[in-house]
Structure 1
Amino acid sequence: MVSFDMVSLFTCNPTSEAVEAVRKCLMEDATWRTEPTSHPDQICTLLDLCLSTTYFHYNGSFYHQKHGCAMGSRIPIVANIYMEEAEQKALTSFSGTHTKPLDRGM
């Protein structure tokens, strides 16, 4: 049994690594090559813009969030893709004495 406890999933999610995880996911999907859509690099540029221009208003002042994704982000799948990537890295780098966990294709 393995438990990956993530505290503050959105705000602890490093945006540059999350964008790279999304890029990898998009590059592995061949759909963009056959359908008239944007290239993964263009999508990731727009995604980085959305994730890095996070401003909010609190108590009469405006603030810029310097790290992580905003809570209530309109792009929640980014956190999911980033966590899948982090989980895969953890599982592939496992060097314990027990057998590796089964890949159930989730």
Structure 2
Amino acid sequence: TQFLIINLTDLYAMIPREGALHTLMKFLEKNLHHGKIDTLSIDGIMRMARLILDTNCFSYNNKYYQQTRGGAMGSAFTQILANIYMYEWEQDLIKHQAIHKEYMEGTSMIYS
């Protein structure tokens, strides 16, 4: 038996934006029936997601900066985006594990 333990540091700030947006699109296409949440289309959700990520600013020592990587710590949107990104990443691991298990009987993964 093999164990894999993963500890993530600074996930919100380190999440790759384009990868996260691609994952969000894939997640929405897979999970939304009729391509909408109420009256909001997938395209509308994706445009807002990009707007949120592209316009995120913060201040430090009385100076303003635009965040160019990841998302804002403490942002409800960034938390949801990171959860979706990690969920899809985890699903890929599970698929890989199933294929790996087929050839290597008894192999399993545990991660937190």
| TM-score with structure 1 setting the length | 0.78
- Could you tell me which runs of 5 or more consecutive residues in structure 2 were left unpaired when the two chains were aligned: none
CA deviations on 1:19-74 (whole Å, 9 max, x unpaired) are 22221121112434476522212211111110121110110111111111111113
Match of 2:91 in 1: 88
For 1:17-36, list aligned pairs within 5 A. Answer: 17-33=19-35, 36=38
Question: Percent of counterpart pairs with the same letter?
Answer: 29
Distance of aligned partners of 1:27 and 1:57 in 2 relative to their CA distance in 1, 3 Å threshold: same
How far apart in 1 are the matches of 2:9 and 2:31?
A: 30
Larger Rg: 2
- Could you tell me which runs of 5 or more consecutive residues in structure 1 were left unpaired when the two chains were aligned: none
How far apart in 2 are the matches of 1:39 and 1:100?
A: 41
Q: Does 1:8 pair with 2:10?
A: yes
Return the structure number with greater relative CO, CA threshold 8 A, min gap 6. 2
Question: Greater helix share, 1 or 2?
Answer: 2
- C-alpha root-mean-square deviation of aligned residues, in Å? 2.4
Is the partner of 1:26 in helix, strand or coil? helix
| TM-score with structure 2 setting the length | 0.75
How far apart in 2 are the matches of 1:74 and 1:86?
A: 20
How far apart in 1 are the matches of 2:36 and 2:63?
A: 47
How far apart in 2 are the matches of 1:84 and 1:70?
A: 19
How far apart in 2 are the matches of 1:54 and 1:18?
A: 15
How far apart in 2 are the matches of 1:56 and 1:35?
A: 30
Is the partner of 2:14 in helix, strand or coil? coil
Contact 1:27 1:40 in 2 (8 A): yes
